[in-house]
Every structure is written in structure tokens, then in C-alpha cells.
Amino acid sequence: MSELAYGVLRQVTPTAAVLLAENPGVMTLDGTNTWVLRAPGAESCVVVDPGPMDPAHLGRIAAQAPVEVVLLTHGHLDHSEGARSFGRQVDAPVRSVDPAFRLGGEGLAEGDVISAAGLSIRVLPTPGHTADSVCFLLDDAVLTGDTVLGRGTTVVAHPDGRLGDYLESLRLLTTLPVGTIGLPGHGPELPDVVAAAGGYLVHREQRLAQVKAAVTTLGGAPTARAVVELVYADVDRSLWPAAEWSVRAQLEYLREA
């Protein structure tokens, strides 16, 4: 990834460019990646994840108009808060799994192929981080939202997110062609999303084993916080609240196994 720059449209692949929202944080890394998609030579574009309600950021995206359609990878506000306002601003429908974020009424489902801006964009349901998470597959790249990040690992946002679903979603991504570029919701692009998803699976298996061992050590039915204090002792405490989400999902997964 090139030097971090807010407010600058950066071309990543022949069909995908990114605008980085200025909302950095523990959960958002450098900020939310808003993706602008168009085939070479196409006048219109597709916008994925307009991001927070930041008029300056939304204005910079609107400058890429005409926009045919706005797509959401999931409903977390750092991706979706500005979506309906942006859709009205550029007179474009907003499509999402969750009806609460739609503008124009059309959803997203497995098997959908969105033909816009000279592209065919296939919807891949990838629940786990959240129940409504999806990825968008292009010819040589896949937009992964928060299912796979450009740096570090994501959380399973229990109770909406479920670990079993998340593991299946990662396995689905490992079936894509090797070398498929990952275009994440946060962090830099990934040269091979298959390798990244495989690494996530290994990490999750290791964490699950650690959580299982912690439950045995602590005895009874330990709280997620107690497990976090043991398993994540070497992790910055600012990340512990997010880790509790994932641990709750792991404890539920172990109970159901």
C-alpha cells in the first residue's frame, strides 16, 4: 500500500479505486475503505461502503458520479452510516442484506450478479463477522468488507456474528483462484486473499484451542472477560472489548460442538 492519504482516490486494480475515510480507530485501523468500481473507459461507477456520515468524505465520493448503485458489505455504521444520505445525494439505489440500510428496496442475496459500470459483480454471502456480511467478487479481486482485513484479524461480533458461520465463510474464500486480490474494508489490499483467509483459519483454530484450554483451567463456566484476561494477556488492553465479542462467539461455538 502506498503512503496513507485521506481524501485521495487511489487506483488499486484496473477496476477498483479506494477513498479512505478519515475515521481511524482501534476497530477501523486507518479508516474505512470506500471502494469505487468501474470498468476501464466506463463513465459511471459502483460505490461500495460509503462509510460514516462525513459530509467531506461523501462529497469526494459524489465527485466520482454518475453512480449507478451503492452496495454495502454489512451494516456496521463505519461502513453504512452515510449510505442512504449518499444514495439520495447522487440519486442511486442502495443495496444491502439488511433492509434498514436500503434505498430503493432491493436487497442482496446469494447468486445475485450486479451488472453496472461495465462490470459483473457477484454477491458472496459470508456471514460470521455479522449475520449480514457479504463479499463482492470481481474478475480478479474480491471486496471482503470486514470478513478479511488488510491488517490483523477481525472480530466475530457476537451475538449477531457466529463463529461457525465465520469459519465457513473463510473456507469459501479459500476456494477462490490463488492470487485473487483482496480489497478489504479496512487496511491495505491483499495480494492473495486465498492465503489470507487460510491464515485466518489457522489463527482461529489456534485461538479456539487456547479458549478451550482456558475454560478447563478456569473451571466451571467462566465469563468471557475472564477468558480474555488469560488468553489475551499479551494483547494491548484497548483491544480487549473487541476480543470479548470473539470469545463469546467461541464459547458459544464450544458449547454447541
Catalytic residue among 30, 49, 78, 132: 78
What is the grid cell recorded at 221?
463456566
78 is catalytic: yes
Collapse the DSSP code of 114 into the 3-class scheme (helix H, G, I; strand E, B; otherwise coil) and give the result.
strand
Nearest Cα to Cα of residue 230 among 213, 245, 242:
213
* CA–CA gap between residue 133 and residue 81 (Å, rounded): 15
Q: Report the alpha-carbon distance of residue 196 to residue 241 in Å, rounded.
A: 24
The angle that helices 240-256 and 224-231 make with each other, rounded to 10 degrees, is: 110
Helix (H) or strand (E) holding 67: strand 67-71
Catalytic machinery residues: 78
